[in-house]
Structure 1
Amino acid sequence: MASGWAQDGAEQQQIDSTVEDALARVRGELPKGESLTECEECGETIPEARRLAIPGVRLCVSCQALEDKRRQSFAGYNRRGSKDSQLR
């Protein structure tokens, strides 16, 4: 049972909203269009198997690994707030 300013079920709504935001962000980052034969970053040839497996691929495996590592630092959104703000 929720108390205070939150409605009943607000926790699940927050969870659902966070998941929907994350899915929308990831879907927006998916490659689109025709796959490139050469990497946008380094110019290396992208193997045919990779181009067939991932339609719209733009980076070779090495450059994609670096890009994935860079994106891991994305923190997302903190929807919880602090306990102090909930007690006021």
Structure 2
Amino acid sequence: MADIADIATELMERRMESAMATCRIPDTTAANDECEECGGEIPVARRKAAPWATTCIECQQIIEEKRRHVR
């Protein structure tokens, strides 16, 4: 007989599977090659490694540095 923890774990797994099934990963071949911050090109290697990236590496580093200073 399953206890409450087992039931909760199963429910979480089902919800996660459902969320993953509906999640769409951006196409790396799409025209998402322009950085939202500086307008420069996002290198192909970065787009392949992180297809969700909307900024170039340099701009992302600046954004992360600003976040560190805000905390």
Task: Supply the RMSD in Å over aligned alpha carbons.
Answer: 1.9
1:49 to 37, 41, 45: 45
Q: What TM-score results when the alignment is normalised by the length of structure 1? A: 0.44
Quick one: percent identity of the two aligned structures? 39
Q: What TM-score results when the alignment is normalised by the length of structure 2? A: 0.53
Greater helix share, structure number: 2
Report the counterpart of residue 72 of structure 1 in structure 2. 68
3-state DSSP of counterpart to 1:70: helix
Structure 1: 5+ residue runs without aligned partners?
1-31, 76-88
Structure 2: 5+ residue runs without aligned partners?
1-23
**TM superposition outliers: structure 1 runs of 4+ over 3 Å:** none
Q: CA shift at 1:73, angstroms?
A: 2.3
Partners of 1:71 and 1:49 lie apart in 2 by 25
